[in-house]
């Protein structure tokens, strides 16, 4: 009878769900070309959500699953393990963490922890976060990483993959000579020399596909008309036919504003009096919580438009919008929008239906898909 609870627990699956990076994305809103690239090499990310209580018997399930991942998808570069639903770890499981790390390290892949919270103090005792000595490496090879949430872990993995895209394209998408490609919160120091050939080939092929089928739009002259146009063209990608329309719209109606890091632009329930297009910096949409910082719904980078749905529909704000970095934004007020609708109804109908709503459809689909999978 003594071992019956142990046997019963070991028979319960510790793995709640398993996703590739193509099936589950971070909530960072990527530009069109970035989305296409990640669609083509997202399988290099594999995320595993755990549940229940961890001891040596249940953690063995994770090791077996990870081995099967490398058999089924040998190009896997990142194994993300989410502990958000784990409520305890027995000391008997600590040695197993090192075995899992060795399995991943043998394939020159990365073990990415997230959602550990207070469990970090238990996991660190296993030595799984200790450095790896590699006499042949120019730089230390860091193969184990830790993030607060699954969303942050996925964002970091995506950023590493996107760096391969920009190396291949030999340029970043530029606005006023500044890169808007990747959020700064989770840049990586990962180098391609640590990865086996199939992964590098897949990333290179995906980058070549994006570059050939979706070339960057021509750079616009640096004036107040062209700058918002350049930003929106990146957001919509295939929007070059709308360029004259956007130039006319942006000419004198968008206002350039500076926002400091930590500044709140609007909060839940506010009147929707403007929309924003991000030129520089990073914003987050959050659901405020009484105790804590709140739940991040979406992270927005340069090239993103935000606040338009509530303004178009004249409804109060559904989230809090906050700058996480100093930012440059182009603001279109509701007064200016209504004036444009009155003076140029056909032009504004095209802007709303063919551009803004088409953009929102992709954006909200990606965000909803993430939270549906994670929930």
pLDDT tens digit sequence for 102-141: 999 999 999 999 999 999 999 999 989 887 544 444 444 5
Lowest mean pLDDT segment, chosen from 2-6, 143-147, 328-332: 2-6
User: What band does 349 get if pLDDT is binned at 50, 70 and 90?
Assistant: confident
Question: Taking Cα atoms as reference points, which of 303, 266, 268 lies closest to residue 282?
Answer: 303
Q: What is the CATH number of domain 6-159?
A: 3.30.750.24
Mean of pLDDT over the chain: 78
CA 306 to CA 300: how far, in whole Å?
8
Query: Looking at residues 231-251, what average pLDDT do you find?
Result: 66
Intrachain domains 6-159 and 228-372 with the same fold: no
Distances (CA, A) of 53 to 110, 140, 272, 320: 24, 33, 46, 35
User: Which residue's entry shows tokens 């993030």?
Assistant: 147
User: What band does 298 get if pLDDT is binned at 50, 70 and 90?
Assistant: confident
User: What band does 290 get if pLDDT is binned at 50, 70 and 90?
Assistant: confident
- The structural domains of the chain, with segments of one domain joined by +, span 6-159, 228-372
User: Is the per-residue pLDDT at 237 higher than 90?
Assistant: no
CA 334 to CA 336: how far, in whole Å?
5
Burial 174-198 (b: 16+ CB within 10 A, else e): ebeeeebbbbeebebebeeebbeee
Residue pair 34/164 in contact by the 8 Å Cβ criterion: no
User: Does pTM top 0.85 for this prediction?
Assistant: no
Domain 228-372 part of CATH 1.25.40.20: no
CA 143 to CA 303: how far, in whole Å?
32
Alpha helices by DSSP H, listed for 237-333, are 243-250, 308-313
User: Which residue's entry shows tokens 């898909």?
Assistant: 369
- pLDDT over 70 for what percent of the chain? 69
126: three-class secondary structure by DSSP: helix
Q: What are phi and psi of 333, to 5 degrees?
A: -75, 160
């Amino acid at each position: 009878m003594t071992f019956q609870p142990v046997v019963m627990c070991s028979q319960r699956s510790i793995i709640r769900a398993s996703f590739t990076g193509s099936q589950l994305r971070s909530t960072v809103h990527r530009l069109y070309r970035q989305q296409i690239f990640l669609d083509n090499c997202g399988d290099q990310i594999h995320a595993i959500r755990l549940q229940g209580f961890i001891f040596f018997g249940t953690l063995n399930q994770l090791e077996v699953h990870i081995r099967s991942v490398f058999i089924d998808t040998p190009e896997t570069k990142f194994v993300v393990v989410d502990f958000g639903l784990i409520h305890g770890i027995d000391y008997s499981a600590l040695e197993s963490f090192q075995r899992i790390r060795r399995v991943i390290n043998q394939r020159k892949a990365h073990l990415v922890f997230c959602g550990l919270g207070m469990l970090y103090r238990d996991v660190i005792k296993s030595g799984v976060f200790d450095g790896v000595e590699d006499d042949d490496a120019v730089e230390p090879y860091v193969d184990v990483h830790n993030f607060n949430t699954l969303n942050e872990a996925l964002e970091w993995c995506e950023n590493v993959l996107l760096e391969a895209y920009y190396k291949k394209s030999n340029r970043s998408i530029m606005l006023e000579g500044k890169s808007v490609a990747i959020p700064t919160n989770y840049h990586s120091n990962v180098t391609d020399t640590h990865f086996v050939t199939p992964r590098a080939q897949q990333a290179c092929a995906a980058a070549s596909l994006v570059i050939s089928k979706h070339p960057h739009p021509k750079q616009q002259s640096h004036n107040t008309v062209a700058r918002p146009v350049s930003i929106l063209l990146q957001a919509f990608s295939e929007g070059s036919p709308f360029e004259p329309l956007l130039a006319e719209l942006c000419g004198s109606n968008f206002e350039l504003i500076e926002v400091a890091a930590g500044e709140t632009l609007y909060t839940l329930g506010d009147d929707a009096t403007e929309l924003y297009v991000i030129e520089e910096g990073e914003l987050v949409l959050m659901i405020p919580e009484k105790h804590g910082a709140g739940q991040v719904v979406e992270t927005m980078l340069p090239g993103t438009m935000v606040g338009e749905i509530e303004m178009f529909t004249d409804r109060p704000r559904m989230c809090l919008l906050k700058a996480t970095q100093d930012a440059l934004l182009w603001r279109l007020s509701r007064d200016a929008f209504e004036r444009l609708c009155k003076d140029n109804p056909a032009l504004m109908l095209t802007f709303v239906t063919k551009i803004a709503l088409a953009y929102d459809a992709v954006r909200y689909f990606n965000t909803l898909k993430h939270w549906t999978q994670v929930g």
